[in-house]
Every structure is written in structure tokens, then in C-alpha cells.
């Protein structure tokens, strides 16, 4: 059977940690007949939910890697990307969002819109992903989907509209009223398979009418036909569906569904909404960059007979070797095709092509435009673009944040050393925010990432998946050095005794640069430094920035202007001017009032209001600045800016301060100046370390 | 202009002078007007002036998005910096906002005890050495005598100056002969300083209605600039 592209959906399920998205995914797989029994995330049967394929995820009850899986719902092909909920893994989320056409934003009916939902939502906005909200856990005590809908409006700025209302809440939650069909929908049977459609119960009729009016008012903004029909009082279901769909696709409307995945309520109706309102691949504009044409933007067409363009968005190390998840943006990708990797400039042949259902796979012969599939045994990195030979397109570069924390690791024995190498090689390919290098001075292997948990998970994975036991050093913050005022230099490098001589003089000044890391300005007049040596000066200054003299970290935000100099007809060379530039920088740097910068994190703590004092106190102790606090009855959110160096071990502290009832997220915000006293300590430490080494 | 000079020349010095040096710690000040005249702008200018003088301010708001309030501060800061050609504006800005905390409460279901408990947590546990607290959107005219007493005690205990905004109902609120808005007449004994905003032609004028023990309407010779919403001297 050939798939009709318009019946295809690529969706993600994104949410705050613990709002139940893995359970929801599990139910979707079950109702789409992909799995035969339901397992809970932290279930008693020890099997764990199907999507959390990695052992570690099963143990921690969180989803780390995004696995793609394919299901069929009412003749529609749905590819589901399960995305991690913890902010330390946002690169995974961002990458998944890149290949999605639509998303379900899962929210907890009790906790509502939490900090991670805000982060995820912002990311979705960046990638223009239309979304449907699903208010989950309506069976919980304190469930209030209306409040959650209001929060979508207030906190996320969505034009959120309920298209369903609950039949009963908390332990009385039985089903939903569909406001489009104006019918009550019950999900009966032990696994909620029996959908029973009945008239709306009397006690909900008035409310249903009122909410339907609200919905119609909101969605009719997107359809003149519906508006007319409303005036003539002949509104049809098709007209409403069409209006909601238009609103959703334009990202100006967020339909809100509800239910309880755990209690098997509302999931099938959510699937209906996914099919009805989220876009198919032809309705999404995708742009590639033409590398042969100065990276000009090219609009891709979801047409089968066009040359193939596909993006490798995820690598996974499976039992049978490397699996590369791809999304086809244009053309068709067939078994046996020859493709071109535009990053490595290498051609390769498509071998086995499969569709994934979490741990089980299905062999296929071709992947159509818009589809998500996986390739076996392809050597590539995630983020690579594959083209039909002749094309040289790259999908827009994905936003990759710079790592803010590093850790020295050393293998426990020889065997571990080999395995560690393999593991690091794999992880760096999978995750661009995870980096590794060997420090030339200490000869230690350093890993860098986005947070403590981010690195912890990789160290765990090394042990479990690669049998590589490593010893871990103290986490190290990625400091920077910067200058705070202008300073002049006039430096001569001269070595003219015996052999071929070296001579070069450079003069000018350095000054702080507000935006950007480095700028080089050449104002030399009259050939005081011959033009041919100018690039050597530039290179010399850049090399001097790699390591500041305060604490040995890179120097950022420097503008170098050279305006004078001198050369020698015989003894001047590129090398001589490079050395002169390094010398010039070293001369000027101490005069330019250098300072140390540290990464400042945007921290968001959520917890019961009764623990507010403890939370405020813990931030104050960590040199943090509280930006705001928001009380919403029993729950409050604190937004703060805290130096990363003070955040180590915060999760443990917070747990003990709040009886485990508060949680926090953090992301990199900016670099900020280190206070004088701490700066002095850091400098002292650096000098002592240098003394010991020498 | 540098920061110290800016502080010296600020129209807020005129404002202070006309209320006997300021509201004073342990006291309550109120800015009253009908809706949409500029109470929030006034409060934010007063708060920003304090920040400029290295004081610590807590801004309490009800059911407004925190982002909105931050935007208010950013706008007022920008206008002041532009008008006075402030030197090192970015550095000054980054320095002073460290001394500002915004505390937001949902409009319904929050009672005075809760607000005060949160404030206490911020000042005592969070070691935020607040000098002033700005209450924007707390209806002091409708608050019970008990609540107002609690607020006063709190201000005295923690040595705070508290500013409120009072939104007067209707298009044409009634003012008594002594200049006090009728709605606030029941609370006037608890208020140490009362300032009203009124449209006069194209401008909004500031008047002192109560200055500590003195219940006598005086013109402050200040107005709100229509474009920037800054408090400015009358020309």
C-alpha cells in the first residue's frame, strides 16, 4: 500500500518531567495496536514503558534519548518522536523539534504550566511547530483543566481553547464531552478500549453549551465560512474542524484536549485531534541552504520525484550497529540509492532501511518525502544532511549552545580506557553539546556539557553500555577572561643574533568589545607593516586570546586595533609578526584591567509556598539574585540568576530543604563578572597550580 | 551625566521635598487616581529612583505577568537614561536591578497574611535588605481595618516604606472638600502620605493631599510627561 503524504503526521510529545508523557506515548502505541500490553513507566511488572529503551531511563523513570516510532491511527501514519523532559538534554529536544511538523504539549492538570513547559514551548516557537495541548492526569486530586487552560493563555501567551470538557474530575473522571460533536465520550473496559458515545449528561449540558460558544467564538476567527454559518445557525462539524485546523496550523490557536493517560481516558480523542488538526508534511515549509550557492536559502518541496534531501537527526547505538534516524524532506529515499553527505563530502549507499517501533523494527524498501525512518551502518554525525548526488544542500544549521561545565575523567584500567574512547566517540557524534578533548597540559581527558546531570548521564552510560569504569574529577566551570578598559601596546620582537633573524614591531591598542568575541581592525598607514604581514598579526592576537594570564581561560570580547609598526627588509616574516602580536597583547593585557567572567544560569525553582523561605535562602547563599517570585496559592515559582559554580549539588540541597517537594531547572543565561574576592581566590589557585606544575 | 548627578537633579527630589523628605520608614504612602491615569508609571518611577540611590525595592503585584512589570521598569529606566544622557547606562542598569525583586501573587485567593508571609520570607530568609515595598494593584480602600493594621505593623517591624496604588472607581471619582477621594476617606488615618493624580488639560498633575500629620492639598509642581510617563517638573 502506498502512503498518501497528506495522511502522514510527524509529531512530538513534549512536556515537563513527570507530567506523564511516556505513559501517554505508551497508551498511544497500545491503542494503535503496536504493542499488546500496557506497561507502566515505573510499573510493578518491571518491564517499563516501551519508549524508554535505555536501561538507565527505565531506572530513573525519565526519558533521555528521543526514540522515533511509527503508528497507524484511522488510516493515518503517525511518526512519534518521544522527547526528553529534562532541561539538561535540551539539545535532544531541539533536534527532535527540527524534524517535527506538529506537537502535543502535555501538561499536568494539577501542576499546570511549569518551568520546563515554558522552555519547551519557547523552543517550539523557534521552530514554528503548531501544537495541541493535552491536559493529562485529570484523575488526580486537585485536577483543574480550566486553570491549566488559563495558564496556557497567561504564562505562554497561547490562544488556548478547550475543545473538550471533562466528565467528572479526580476519582470521578470518566470521560470527556466533545464540544465539536456535542457528545459524551466514555472510555470503558479495563484498558479503555471500548469507546462509548452517548448524549451529554444533563448536569453538564449547560456548561457544554457555554464552552462550545466560547470555542466557536475563538475558532470562527479563522474561518469566514464558519462565521457565516454561525449567523445562519447551520454550523457543521466539518466547518468547525476546518477552522480549528487553520488556527492550529497558523500557530495562532492551541486546541486543548484532556484526559488521563494512566486511567486510559481521552487518548483516542487526542489521536483524533492529532490527525484532524496537526499538519501533514506538505503543509510545512522547510528551508535548506545551498552550499554551492553561497548558502542561499532553498525551499524544499515535499514531492516524491524531486532529488532526495534528508537530515540525520539522531544516532543510536543498537544491537546491530549504528542506527541513523533520518527525516526525508524532499524526494524519496530508496534502498540501494546512492547518497551524498554534504558535511563529510562522502558518498554512500543506502543499505538496510527500517521503520522503528521503539525496540522492534520493520524493514522497508523506501521512505517517502516527509517520512521518518532509520538507516543501518552509515558513518555520519547527527545533524548531517544527505542529498541525491548532484545536490549540495544542507538543512539550516541547528542552534548548538556552547558547553558551560567540564569534568576531568580517567579510566580505571586499560580495558576501560579502550571502551571509554569508543563511548566518547559515539556520544560526541550523537550529541553536539557533549564535547571532549585531552588537556595538553595535564594529559587528562576532559568532557564538557550543559550541566551536571547531562555529564552524569553520559558517565553512567559509559559504565553500562560500554563497560568503561571511569574516575571523575571535580566539575569545572568554563570561566572566561575579558578586559574592561582600553590599553595601548607598542611591541618589538627582535632576534638578530646569528642565523636568520626575526624582526617585527606592532603598535596599537586593545579595547573591550560589547558584542562578539573578537574583532581585528587594521589602521596601519603608509605600509609601516607591509600588507602581507597583517594576517600574521591577526593570527598572533587570536592565538594570544586562547589562554588568559589571570586563570588560563579564553579571553573574550576584545577589539584589537593596530595603527603602526615596523618591518625589516630581510628579517621580517610571518612568524616574526605573529610572535610580535602575541608579545604586544601580553604587554597590553595587564593594563586593560582584565576581569574573570563566569557563566550565570537562569534558574527556576518551583515548590510549595510553605518552603519559600528555604528556597529564597538557598539562592541567597549561592550568590544568586532573585528576579521574581510568583505565588499561585499553594505553589510558587522563583526565578533567579545564579552563578553556575554555585549550583553544584543544588538538587540535593533543594531536596533536603523542601522534603523533596521542590524542583528546579536551569539554563545558561550569560557570562557575568566574578566578584572581586572570588576572583582573587581563583587567581591564587591558578598561580599555585602553575607553581606546582613547574 | 553620571549617576550621582542624575540623582541630585531628579524631579523626585522635588517630590520628596513636598512630602517632608519622603514617606519615611514604617509609614504608608498612597498614590490614588482613577484607572489609566498613570499610577503604575509613578510607582515604577519612584521605585527606580530608589534603585538609582542604591536602595533595595520589592515590587509586589497581583495577577500581572512578571514580564510586563519588568518591561515597565526597562521602559522607565530607558527614558530616564535617555533624558539625562546617563553615562555607562548598561552597567548602571545591571548594577541597580540586582536590588529589585518582583513578587507576583494571583489576584484571587491571596490574602494579606500570605503576602506578608512571602515578603517576610524574602526579607528574612532570602536576606533581601528591602528599604521600600511597592504594592501595585492592592486595593487599600477595600482592605479591612485589620489588614491595614497588619500592613502598618509589618512596615514598622521591618523598617520599610510602603507605597500603594489606589484605583478609584468610575470615570469621575468623588473627592471630598479636603481633597481626599471619598473611597479612601475611611482609611485616611492609616495613610501617612496621599498623592493624587488628575488630568488637567493634556497633562496629569500630582498633588499632595496628606503629608504626614498635615491634611491640606498642595500642588507639587510636578506632572507626568504624556509621552514617557515620567514624573517631571512643571515648566
Rounded to 10 deg, the angle between the A90-99 and A115-126 helix axes is: 40
Contacts of B125 in chain A (CB under 8 A): 612-614, 616-617, 620
Q: Does residue A309 surpass a pLDDT of 60? A: yes
Q: Which three cell numbers stand for residue A450?
A: 550543559
Confidence band (pLDDT; 50, 70, 90) for A1?
Answer: very low
Find the CB nearest A631 among B69, B101, B118: B118
pLDDT band for position A473 (50/70/90)? Answer: confident
Question: B121 in contact with A at a CB cutoff of 8 Å?
Answer: yes
Q: What pLDDT does A94 receive?
A: 67
**How far apart are the C-alpha atoms of A223 and A363, rounded to whole Å?**
43
Q: Does position A286 have pLDDT exceeding 90, yes or no?
A: no
Name the domain count of chain A: 5
Confidence of residue A62 (pLDDT cuts 50, 70, 90): very low
The answer, yes or no, to whether residue A502 has pLDDT greater than 70, is: yes
CB A602 within 8 A of CB A644: no
Q: How many domains does chain B have?
A: 1
Say yes or no for a CB contact (<8 Å) between A155 and B114: no
One domain, residues A162 and A261: yes
DSSP A406-424: EEEEEESSHHHHHHHHHHH
With CA atoms as reference, the chain B residue closest to A608 would be B118
Residue of B nearest to A629 (CA): B103
Q: Is residue A349 part of a domain?
A: yes
Q: How far apart are CA A652 and CA A660, in angstroms?
A: 9
In a domain, A682, yes or no: no
Nearest residue, CB atoms, B106 vs list A625, A626, A632: A632
What was the pLDDT predicted at A275?
A: 92
> CB-side exposure of A123: number of CA atoms within 13 Å?
31
Based on the fold, state whether residues A445 and A553 are members of the same structural domain. no
pLDDT, residue A357, reads 66
User: Which of A616, A631, A633 minimises the CB distance to B125?
Assistant: A616
Same domain, A150 and A219: yes
Interacting residues of A282 by C-beta distance below 8 A, sequence separation 6+: A5, A6, A302, A370
For residues A307 and A331, is the Cβ–Cβ distance under 8 A?
Answer: yes
Assess if residue A117 is contained within a domain: yes
Do B118 and A632 count as a contact with CB atoms less than 8 A apart? no
Write out the three cell numbers for A193. Answer: 478500549
Tell whether A570 is covered by a domain. Answer: yes
A75 and A200 together in one domain? yes
- For residues B57-62, give the mean pLDDT: 94
Q: What is the mean pLDDT of residues A146-167?
A: 88
Question: Does pLDDT of A689 surpass 60?
Answer: yes
By C-alpha distance, which of B166, B217, B224 is closest to B198? Answer: B224
pLDDT at B111 exceeding the cut of 90? no
Instruction: Name which residue leads in pLDDT, A558 or A284.
Output: A558
Listed residue (A204, A210, A218) closest to A176, CA to CA: A204
Average pLDDT score over chain B: 88
Q: Tell me if chain B has a CB within 8 Å of the CB of A154.
A: yes
Task: Identify the domain boundary among A451, A475, A499.
Answer: A475
Which pLDDT does position A73 carry in this prediction? 87
Verify that A381 and A508 share a domain, yes or no.
no
Q: Is residue A603 part of a domain?
A: yes
Residues A462 and A534 in one domain: no
Whether residues A544 and A410 fall in one domain: no
Contact flag B109-A617 (C-beta cutoff 8 Å): no
List the single range of A448-452, A638-642, A643-647, B36-40 with lowest mean pLDDT. A448-452
Q: Is the dihedral of CA A70, A72, A76, A81 positive or negative?
A: negative
Which pLDDT does position A163 carry in this prediction?
93
Asked if A425 and A386 sit in the same domain, the reply is no
Select from A240, A259, A280 the last residue of a domain.
Answer: A280
The per-residue pLDDT for B234 is 80
CATH number at residue A605: 3.30.70.240
Per cent of chain B over pLDDT 70 is 99
Option in A609, A613, A630 nearest B104 (CB) = A630
Residues A98 and A203 both lie in one domain: yes
| Radius of gyration in angstroms for the set of CA atoms belonging to chain B, rounded to a whole number | 17
The pLDDT score that the predictor gives to residue A359 is: 55
Q: Does B125 touch chain A (CB under 8 A)?
A: yes
* Cα torsion through B178, B184, B188, B190, rounded to 10: -160
* pLDDT value at residue A536: 94
Place of cell 584500567: A413
CA distance A601 to A604: 9
CB contact under 8 A, A627 and B98: no
pLDDT per position as a tens digit, B17-33: 888 888 889 999 999 99
Report pLDDT digits (tens) over A391-428. Answer: 888 886 555 667 778 888 988 888 888 889 888 988 88
d(CA A392, CA A157): 39
**Sign of the C-alpha dihedral, residues B124, B129, B132, B137?**
negative
Quote the distance between the C-alpha of residue A448 and its chain's center.
Answer: 16
Q: What is the pLDDT of residue A51?
A: 53
What chain A residue is nearest to B119 in terms of C-alpha separation? A613
pLDDT band at B108 (very low <50, low <70, confident <90, very high): low
Q: Where residue A144 sits, what CATH number does that domain have?
A: 3.40.50.300
Range of the domain at A380: 287-395
Percent of chain A with pLDDT over 70: 89
Residue A258 CA to residue A164 CA, distance in Å, equals 7
A400 located within any domain:
no
Answer whether B64 touches A (CB < 8 Å). no
Interchain contact A636–B (C-beta under 8 A)? yes
pLDDT number for residue A65: 45
Q: Please state the pTM of the whole predicted model.
A: 0.68
pLDDT tens digits, residue range A5-29? 888 898 888 777 666 777 888 788 8
Between CA A678 and CA A82 the distance in angstroms is 42
Single residue among A259, A280, A301 that ends a domain in this structure? A280
Cβ-Cβ contacts under 8 Å, B114 against chain A: 609, 631
A617 touches chain B (CB under 8 A): yes
Quote the pLDDT of residue A399. Answer: 56
CA distance linking residue B41 with residue B39, whole number of Å: 5
CATH of residue B40:
3.40.50.300
Closest CA to A117 of A254, A317, A268, A229: A254
In a shared domain, residues A420 and A527 = no
pLDDT band at A60 (very low <50, low <70, confident <90, very high): very low
CA–CA distance, A592 with A27 (Å, rounded to integer): 62
Distance in angstroms (rounded) separating the CA atoms of residues A97 and A355: 19
**Rounded Cα distance, A672 and B230, in Å:** 31
**Same domain flag for A535 and A424:** no
**Of the candidates A552, A541, A532, A526, the residue with the CA atom closest to the CA atom of residue A491:** A541
| Chain B residues close to A625, C-beta within 8 Å | 98
Task: Name the 3-class secondary structure at A103.
Answer: strand
Q: Is residue A419 in some structural domain? A: yes
pLDDT higher than threshold 70 for residue A375: yes
Chain B nearest CA to A445, separation (Å): 37
Q: For residues A118 and B121, give the distance between their C-alpha atoms in angstroms, rounded to a whole number.
A: 26
- Show the domain range for B188: 3-233
Tell whether the model's pLDDT for residue A99 goes beyond 70.
yes
- Report the C-alpha gap between A426 and A315 in whole angstroms: 9
For residue A298, pLDDT beyond 90: no
Q: In the predicted model, what is the mean pLDDT of chain A?
A: 84
Burial of A694 (0-12, 13-18, 19+ CB in 10 A): exposed
Domain CATH number, residue A384: 2.40.30.10
The whole-number pLDDT of residue A403 equals 77
pLDDT value of residue A401: 67
Hey, is the C-beta of A613 within 8 angstroms of any chain B C-beta? yes
Query: Minimum mean pLDDT among A244-248, A437-441, B9-13: which range?
Result: A437-441
Is A633 within 8 Å of B109 when comparing Cβ atoms?
yes
A692 found inside a domain: no
Chain B nearest C-alpha distance from A129 (Å):
23
Amino acid at each position: 500500500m502506498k502512503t498518501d503524504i497528506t495522511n502522514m503526521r510527524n509529531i512530538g510529545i513534549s512536556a515537563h518531567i513527570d507530567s506523564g508523557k511516556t505513559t501517554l506515548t505508551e497508551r498511544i502505541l497500545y491503542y494503535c495496536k503496536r504493542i499488546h500490553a500496557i506497561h507502566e513507566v515505573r510499573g510493578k511488572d518491571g518491564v517499563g514503558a516501551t519508549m524508554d529503551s535505555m536501561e538507565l531511563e527505565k531506572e530513573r523513570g525519565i526519558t533521555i534519548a528521543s526514540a522515533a516510532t511509527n503508528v497507524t491511527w484511522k488510516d493515518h501514519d503517525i511518526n512519534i518522536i518521544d522527547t526528553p523532559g529534562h532541561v539538561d538534554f535540551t539539545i535532544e529536544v531541539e533536534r527532535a523539534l527540527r524534524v517535527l511538523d506538529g506537537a502535543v504539549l502535555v501538561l499536568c492538570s494539577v501542576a499546570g504550566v511549569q518551568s520546563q513547559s515554558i522552555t519547551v514551548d519557547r523552543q517550539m516557537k523557534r521552530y514554528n511547530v503548531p501544537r495541541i495541548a493535552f491536559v493529562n492526569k485529570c484523575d488526580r486530586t486537585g485536577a483543574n483543566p480550566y486553570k491549566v487552560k488559563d495558564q496556557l493563555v497567561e504564562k505562554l501567551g497561547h490562544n488556548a481553547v478547550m475543545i473538550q470538557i471533562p466528565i467528572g474530575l479526580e476519582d470521578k473522571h470518566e470521560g470527556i464531552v466533545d464540544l465539536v460533536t456535542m457528545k459524551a465520550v466514555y472510555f470503558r473496559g479495563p484498558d479503555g478500549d471500548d469507546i462509548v458515545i452517548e448524549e451529554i449528561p444533563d448536569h453538564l449540558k449547560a456548561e457544554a453549551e457555554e464552552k462550545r460558544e466560547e470555542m466557536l467564538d475563538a475558532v470562527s476567527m479563522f474561518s469566514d465560512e464558519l462565521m457565516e454559518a454561525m449567523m445562519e445557525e447551520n454550523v457543521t462539524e466539518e466547518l468547525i474542524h476546518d477552522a480549528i485546523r487553520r488556527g492550529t496550523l497558523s500557530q495562532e490557536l492551541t486546541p486543548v484536549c484532556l484526559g488521563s493517560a494512566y486511567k486510559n481516558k481521552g487518548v483516542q480523542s487526542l489521536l483524533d485531534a492529532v490527525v484532524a488538526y496537526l499538519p501533514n508534511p506538505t503543509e510545512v515549509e522547510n528551508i535548506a541552504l545551498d552550499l554551492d550557492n553561497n548558502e542561499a536559502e532553498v525551499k524544499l518541496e515535499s514531492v516524491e520525484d524531486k532529488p532526495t534531501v534528508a537530515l540525520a537527526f539522531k544516532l543510536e547505538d543498537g544491537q546491530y550497529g549504528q542506527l541513523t534516524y533520518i527525516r526525508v524532506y524532499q524526494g524519496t529515499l530508496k534502498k540501494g540509492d546512492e547518497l551524498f553527505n554534504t558535511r563529510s563530502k562522502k558518498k554512500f549507499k543506502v543499505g538496510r532501511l527500517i521503520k522503528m517501533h521503539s525496540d522492534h523494527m520493520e524493514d522497508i524498501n523506501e521512505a517517502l518525502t516527509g517520512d521518518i525512518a532509520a538507516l543501518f551502518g552509515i558513518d555520519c554525525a547527527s545533524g548531517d544532511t544527505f542529498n541525491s548526488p548532484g545536490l549540495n544542500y544542507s538543512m539550516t544549521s541547528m542552534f548548538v549552545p556552547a558547553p558551560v561545565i567540564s569534568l576531568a575523567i580517567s579510566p580505571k584500567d586499560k580495558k576501560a580506557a579502550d571502551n571509554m574512547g569508543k563511548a566518547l566517540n559515539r556520544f560526541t557524534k550523537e550529541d553536539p553539546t557533549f564535547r571532549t578533548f585531552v588537556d595538553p597540559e595535564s594529559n587528562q581527558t576532559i568532557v564538557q556539557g550543559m550541566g551536571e546531570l547531562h555529564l552524569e548521564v553520559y558517565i553512567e552510560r559509559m559504565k553500562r553500555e560500554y563497560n568503561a569504569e571511569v574516575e571523575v574529577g571535580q566539575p569545572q566551570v568554563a570561566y572566561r577572561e575579558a578586559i574592561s578598559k582600553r590599553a595601548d601596546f607598542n611591541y618589538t620582537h627582535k632576534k638578530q643574533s646569528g642565523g636568520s633573524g626575526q624582526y617585527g614591531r606592532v603598535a596599537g591598542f586593545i579595547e573591550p568589545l560589547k558584542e562578539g568575541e573578537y574583532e581585528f581592525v587594521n589602521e596601519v598607514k603608509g605600509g609601516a607593516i607591509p600588507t602581507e604581514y597583517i594576517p600574521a598579526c591577526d593570527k598572533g592576537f587570536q592565538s594570544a586570546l586562547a589562554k588568559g594570564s589571570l586563570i588560563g581561560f579564553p579571553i573574550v570580547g576584545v577589539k584589537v586595533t593596530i595603527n603602526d609598526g615596523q618591518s625589516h627588509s630581510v628579517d621580517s616574516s610571518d612568524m616574526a609578526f605573529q610572535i610580535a602580536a602575541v608579545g604586544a597583547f601580553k604587554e597590553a593585557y595587564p593594563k586593560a584591567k582584565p576581569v574573570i567572567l563566569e557563566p550565570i544560569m537562569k534558574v527556576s525553582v518551583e515548590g510549595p509556598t510553605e518552603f519559600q523561605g528555604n528556597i529564597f535562602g538557598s539562592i541567597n547563599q549561592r550568590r544568586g539574585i532573585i528576579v521574581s517570585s510568583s505565588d499561585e496559592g499553594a505553589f510558587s515559582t522563583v526565578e533567579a540568576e545564579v552563578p553556575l559554580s554555585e549550583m553544584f549539588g543544588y538538587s540535593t540541597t533543594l531536596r533536603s530543604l523542601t522534603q523533596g517537594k521542590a524542583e528546579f531547572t536551569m539554563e545558561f543565561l550569560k557570562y557575568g563578572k566574578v566578584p572581586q574576592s572570588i576572583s582573587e581566590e581563583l587567581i591564587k589557585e591558578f598561580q599555585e597550580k602553575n607553581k606546582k606544575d613547574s | 551625566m553620571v549617576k550621582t548627578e542624575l540623582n541630585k537633579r531628579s524631579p523626585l527630589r522635588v517630590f520628596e521635598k513636598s512630602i517632608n523628605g519622603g514617606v519615611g520608614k514604617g509609614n504608608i504612602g498612597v498614590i490614588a487616581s482613577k484607572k489609566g491615569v498613570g499610577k503604575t508609571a509613578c510607582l515604577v518611577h519612584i521605585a527606580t529612583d530608589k534603585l538609582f540611590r542604591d536602595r533595595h525595592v520589592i515590587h509586589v503585584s497581583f495577577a500581572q505577568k512578571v514580564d510586563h512589570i519588568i518591561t515597565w521598569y526597562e521602559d522607565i529606566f530607558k527614558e530616564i537614561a535617555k533624558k539625562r544622557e546617563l553615562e555607562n547606562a548598561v552597567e548602571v542598569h545591571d548594577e541597580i536591578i540586582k536590588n529589585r525583586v518582583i513578587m507576583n501573587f494571583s489576584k484571587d485567593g491571596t490574602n494579606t497574611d500570605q503576602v506578608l508571609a512571602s515578603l517576610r520570607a524574602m526579607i528574612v530568609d532570602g536576606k533581601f535588605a528591602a528599604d521600600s515595598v511597592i504594592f501595585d494593584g492592592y486595593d487599600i480602600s477595600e482592605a479591612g481595618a485589620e489588614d491595614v493594621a497588619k500592613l502598618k505593623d509589618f512596615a514598622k517591624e521591618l523598617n520599610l516604606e510602603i507605597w500603594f496604588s489606589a484605583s478609584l472607581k468610575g470615570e469621575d471619582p468623588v473627592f471630598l472638600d479636603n481633597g481626599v477621594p471619598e473611597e479612601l476617606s475611611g482609611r485616611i488615618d492609616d495613610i501617612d502620605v496621599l498623592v493624587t493624580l488628575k488630568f488637567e488639560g493634556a497633562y496629569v498633575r500630582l498633588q499632595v493631599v496628606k503629608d504626614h500629620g498635615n491634611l491640606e492639598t498642595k500642588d507639587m509642581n510636578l506632572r507626568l510627561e504624556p509621552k514617557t510617563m515620567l514624573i517631571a517638573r512643571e515648566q
